């Protein structure tokens, strides 16, 4: 069954993707300007320290980090790579499904990414939009045409290899992808199904993030971290 979607909106800069790209670049520049002289390029400045995902701080109630971490990046190459892919995948996808649906997709995959990062890397600061972007790939894997799907599969395979490198959050990548696939399936089944399924999947992602942020309340699985 082919997905029943809205007619593509001819926007040069779809608002959700534009916010992600412009916001990420602006915060990166601002964080660099406010960082003390002599800091390493890969170190987190004052803004990123406040918005990065870090289990102990989320556990203390700083839940905004589950979402704001997508706007923080660990260096220029990290930022450029993520923003280029956000442009290549996010913009056409937002144009096809509409900004409201794309916003729900972005929220669910961002929170889903953070939930697995908290589960497996609780004590490690995690930044970047790549988990959320992997969610776009997961959604497109089940909604794209066969020809375009081949390109998505190749890209996903490349990211899987990169995810094994030191310093890369494989758990965050996997979490975004795992929530992106069911969001894509809901899109494929049509607007009515998506309108019901998307908020439910977002709620599930938020619940998982809350549980993984408080391992002491749910069986104490902190030994995984």
Q: Is 1 helix (H, G, I), strand (E, B) or coil?
A: coil
**128 vs 207: CA distance, rounded Å:** 21
Q: Is 214 a known active-site residue?
A: no
CA–CA distance, 91 with 155 (Å, rounded to integer): 17
How far is it, in rounded angstroms, from Cα 20 to Cα 63? 19
> What was the pLDDT predicted at 6?
46
Interatomic CA distance for residues 167 and 189, integer angstroms: 37
Q: Is 173 a catalytic residue?
A: yes
- pLDDT given for residue 36 in this prediction: 80
Inter-residue contact 113 to 21 (CB < 8 Å): no
- Which residue ranges form the domains of the chain, and what is each CATH number? 15-224 (1.20.1540.10)
Q: Is 40 helix (H, G, I), strand (E, B) or coil?
A: coil
What pLDDT, on a 0 to 100 scale, did the predictor assign at position 2? Answer: 41
d(CA 71, CA 126): 11
Options 35, 99, 115, 130, the catalytic residue = 130
pLDDT tens by residue, the chain, 225 residues: 344 444 445 567 799 999 999 999 999 999 999 988 655 555 688 999 999 999 999 999 999 999 999 999 999 999 999 999 999 999 999 999 999 999 999 999 999 999 999 999 999 999 999 999 999 999 999 988 777 888 888 989 998 998 888 888 999 999 999 999 999 999 999 999 999 999 999 999 999 999 999 987 776 655 444
24: left (phi over 0), alpha (psi -120 to 50) or beta: alpha
pTM: 0.89
Classify residue 94 as left (phi > 0), alpha (psi -120 to 50) or beta. Answer: alpha
Catalytic residue among 78, 99, 169, 173: 173
């Amino acid at each position: 069954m082919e997905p029943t979607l809205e007619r593509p909106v001819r926007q040069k800069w779809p608002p959700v993707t534009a916010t992600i790209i412009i916001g990420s670049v602006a915060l990166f520049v601002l964080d660099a300007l406010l960082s003390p002289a002599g800091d390493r390029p890969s170190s987190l400045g004052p803004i990123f320290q406040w918005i990065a995902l870090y289990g102990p701080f989320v556990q203390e109630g700083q839940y905004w980090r589950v979402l704001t971490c997508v706007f923080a990046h660990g260096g220029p190459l990290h930022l450029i790579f993520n923003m280029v892919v956000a442009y290549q995948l996010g913009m056409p996808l937002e144009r096809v499904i509409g900004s409201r649906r794309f916003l729900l997709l972005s929220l669910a995959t961002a929170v889903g990414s953070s939930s697995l990062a908290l589960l497996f890397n609780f004590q490690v600061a995690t930044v970047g939009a790549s988990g959320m972007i992997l969610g776009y790939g997961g959604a497109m894997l089940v909604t794209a045409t066969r020809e375009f799907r081949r390109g998505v599969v190749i890209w996903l395979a490349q990211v899987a290899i990169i995810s094994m490198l030191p310093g890369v959050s494989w758990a965050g990548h996997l979490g975004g992808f795992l929530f992106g696939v069911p969001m894509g399936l809901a899109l494929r089944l049509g607007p009515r199904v998506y309108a019901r399924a998307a908020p439910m999947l977002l709620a599930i992602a938020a619940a998982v993030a809350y549980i993984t942020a408080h391992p002491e309340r749910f069986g104490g699985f902190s030994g995984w971290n």
